[in-house]
Amino acid sequence: MTVELVDGLSAEEFKLAFRHHPAGVAVITADAGHGPVGLTASSVFSVSADPAVLVFSVSGSSSSAPTLNAADTVVVHLLLSDHIDIAKLCATSGINRFEDTTIWDRLPTGEPYFKNAQARIRGRVINKMPIGDSTVFAVHALEADIPDEDPASNPLVYHNRSWHHLGDHSRL
Q: Which of residues 126-145 bind a copy of itself (CB under 8 A)?
A: 126-127, 129, 131-134, 136, 138, 140-144
Residue 32, interface with a copy of itself (CB under 8 A)? no
d(CA 160, CA 163): 8
Closest to a copy of itself by CB, 34 or 171: 171
Please name the amino acid found at residue 65: A
Q: Is the dihedral of CA 50, 44, 27, 77 positive or negative?
A: negative
Binding test (CB under 8 A) with a copy of itself, winner from 5, 34, 99, 148:
5
**Is 112 within 8 Å of 29 (Cβ atoms)?**
yes
Which of residues 70 and 142 has its CB atom nearest to a copy of itself in the complex?
A: 142
141: β partners: 123
Site string for a copy of itself, 43-82 (x = CB under 8 A): xxxxxxxxxxxxx-x-x------------------x-xx-
Nearer to a copy of itself, 30 or 54 (CB): 54
Residue 25 CA: distances (Å) to CA of 70, 147, 151, 163, 168:
23, 16, 14, 9, 19
